[in-house]
Amino acid sequence: MSLAIVSPNRDIKPWLKILEKDSPEIPLEIYPDIVDPEDVEAAMVWQHPPGALVQFPNLRLICSMGAGVDHILNDKTIGEHIPITRIVDPRLTFSMTNYVVMGVLNFHRQINRYIKDKKERNWDMSNPEIPIKVGVLGVGELGGDVLDKLAGMGIEVCGYGNNPKGNFRHSYYYGDQLHDFLNECNVLVCLLPLTEKTAGFLNIDLFRKCKKGTYLINVARGKHLVEEDLLVALDEGCLSGALLDVFHKEPLPKDHPFWYHDKITITPHIASITNPAAAAPQIIENYRNLKQGKKLINQIDRKKGY
C-alpha cells in the first residue's frame, strides 16, 4: 500500500523531508514518475491535473495538502465513494486572520491613498480614517476568528451564513437576510466555502445591493468572484476598491485587467499558507488509519463541499 504525492506545481521537498523522517515505512510514489500505480491506495494532492488519479485503480483515500478541497471535488473523474480529507491547522487561521485584519486596517486608514500621496509629494491630513463596519461572508472556523479579532480591536462586525446559528457571539444574518446584512457593512470579506451554490456569489447583483463605496476583500476562492462584474461595480461606484488574493486562473495572466486597475490590490494567493510541519503528520495519521481500518480525521462532507 503506497502513498502517491500528486502536486506538480508545488515544491514538495519539505513534505518529503517530513514523510521520510516520520514515516520511513510508507512507500512513496511521486507524480508524474509513478512506478506501481496499482499499489497506490492513498494520494495526497494539491491542484492536480484533472484525471491524474484515474491511473490508481485501487485508490481508497485522497488527502488535500491544504484546507481547500474544491480542486478535488471539481475533478469529475474521481469516484464519489472515495473519502476526501483536508488539513486543519491553527496556523492557517492565524495567518488568514492577520491578512484580513491587514486589509481592513489598510482600507480604514487609507494606506493606498497615502502611498499615492507620497509619490505626488502631497501632504493631505484631511479625513485620515474611513468609518467601517466589517461583514464576513462565511462564519466557520476562519470567518469566526476574523470576527473575533476585529471585534476585539473595537471594530463593528457582522456575519452571514446559510443557516441560523443559536447564540452566535456576533451580529449574524442568514439565508434570505442577505440584503439586511449588506446594508450593515461597508467592508465585505468573503470566506465562503466554494460549492455549486457559492460559485459566482460575488457578482454585480450582489455588488449593487451593497452600501455605495463598500470595499471588497476576497480570500476564499477565485471562482467566488465574477471577475468582469467587479470591474463594472468599481466603475459604477458600488464598490470603492478591492483586495484580492485568489483568482480564476493562477498565476494571474500578465494581460489581466486587474493588474492595471488602480482600485484593485493584488497578492499572489498568500493569505494563508499551509505549513508542511503541521500538515504532513495529519496525512500520515490518515494513511495509518486507512491501513488499520480506523476512522479518518478531518474528512469532508461531499454534499456540503467542505
Q: Show the 3-state SS of the chain.
A: CEEEEECCCCCCHHHHHHHHHHCCCCCEEECCECCCHHHEEEEEECCCCCCHHHHCCCCCEEEECCCCCHHHHCCCCCCCCCCEECCCCHHHHHHHHHHHHHHHHHHHCCHHHHHHHHHCCCCCCCCCCCCCEEEEECCCHHHHHHHHHHHHCCCEEEEEECCCCCCCCCCEEEHHHHHHHHHHCCEEEECCCCCCCCCCCECHHHHHHCCCCEEEEECCCHHHECHHHHHHHHHHCCEEEEEECCCCCCCCCCCCHHHHCCCEEECCCCCCCCCHHHHHHHHHHHHHHHHHCCCCCCECCCCCCC
Q: Is 269 a catalytic residue?
A: yes
Closest by Cα among 50, 43, 81 to 64: 43
Annotated active-site residue 48? The verdict is: no
Interatomic CA distance for residues 269 and 11, integer angstroms: 15
Q: Which of 48, 86, 221, 224 is catalytic?
A: 221
In contact, 104 and 134? CB cutoff 8 Å = yes
* CA-wise closest residue to 27 among 46, 51, 43: 43
The catalytically annotated residue of 60, 108, 261, 269 is 269
What gap in Å lies between CA 88 and CA 300, rounded to an integer? 11
Residues 6+ apart with CB under 8 A from 60: 41, 42, 82, 83, 290
Mind telling me the catalytic residues? 221, 269
